[in-house]
Amino acid sequence: MFISLKELKRDEVEFSTTYDPGVLDFRGAEVEQLSALFFAGSAELVGGEIRIRGHLEGVVRHGCDRCLEPVEISVGKDLDLFYRPRRTIAREEEVEISKGESEVSFFTGDGIELKDLVSEQVILAVPMKAVCRPECKGLCPTCGANRNVANCGCKGPDRESPFADLKKH
Ligand SMILES: [Zn+2]
Ligand SMILES: [Zn+2]
């Protein structure tokens, strides 16, 4: 759904959208969408900026940072975002913004494509280092086996393996 400036100049726009897997473009981010994502809210013009308020809900999948097994991440967040038209910004002002207000977003053209906004918010919701569980043992650096599933028995610097324990007794 496209939120156009023209429409916003007339009135607030309410939306309720659903994105099926494959519709959103996560631009190379390691995010997999399993079921529909839901985004509902409203858009209005506030002092020349587009303000978008709404709630985003859904579940995405991401590879565990240690063992690469898929981890499900629930995305449920309330958003209150402001978008400034890029073309009205003078050069000096833009420099100032990059220093102080890095949270300001911009839009170009006649409005905002909600699909792009939702993709961006989903990427932001996925932690940089998502692990399947805090005690995940990860992959063996020697043979690549998933050490949560099987103990490959490789000898190595891993002192936490149960075999190392056995030798002590
Ligand atoms: Zn893991
Ligand atoms: Zn191994």
pLDDT of residue 159: 54
pLDDT tens digits for range 124-162? 988 878 899 999 999 999 999 999 999 999 986 655 555
Kindly give the distance from the C-alpha atom of residue 151 to the centroid of ligand 2, in angstroms, as a whole number: 7
Kindly give the distance from the C-alpha atom of residue 85 to the centroid of ligand 2, in angstroms, as a whole number: 54
Cα separation, 142 vs 47, in Å, equals 59
| Proximal ligand: closest to the CA of 150 | 2
Kindly give the distance from the C-alpha atom of residue 64 to the centroid of ligand 2, in angstroms, as a whole number: 18
pLDDT tens digits for range 31-88? 999 899 999 999 999 988 999 999 999 999 999 999 999 999 999 999 999 999 886 5
Which residue would you say has higher pLDDT here, 128 or 89?
128
**105: CB partners within 8 A, 6+ apart:** 81, 82, 83, 84
Cα separation, 141 vs 160, in Å, equals 13
Kindly give the distance from the C-alpha atom of residue 113 to the centroid of ligand 2, in angstroms, as a whole number: 48
Kindly give the distance from the C-alpha atom of residue 123 to the centroid of ligand 1, in angstroms, as a whole number: 20
pLDDT of residue 166: 54
Kindly give the distance from the C-alpha atom of residue 157 to the centroid of ligand 2, in angstroms, as a whole number: 11
Predicted confidence band at 6 (pLDDT cuts at 50, 70, 90)?
Answer: very high
Kindly give the distance from the C-alpha atom of residue 147 to the centroid of ligand 2, in angstroms, as a whole number: 8
pLDDT of residue 59: 93
Take residue 98 and report the two structure tokens written for it. Answer: 């990059």
| Proximal ligand: closest to the CA of 132 | 1
pLDDT of residue 99: 46
| Proximal ligand: closest to the CA of 144 | 2
Kindly give the distance from the C-alpha atom of residue 134 to the centroid of ligand 2, in angstroms, as a whole number: 21
Residue 114 · residue 39 · CB < 8 Å: yes
Give me the residue spans of the domains in the chain: 2-136, 137-169
Q: Is pLDDT above 50 for 94?
A: yes
DSSP one-letter code for 150:
-
Take residue 10 and report the two structure tokens written for it. Answer: 């007339």
Q: Is 127 helix (H, G, I), strand (E, B) or coil?
A: coil
pLDDT of residue 100: 47
Q: Quick check: pTM over 0.85?
A: no
Q: Which among 92-101, 103-112, 117-126 has the top mean pLDDT?
A: 117-126
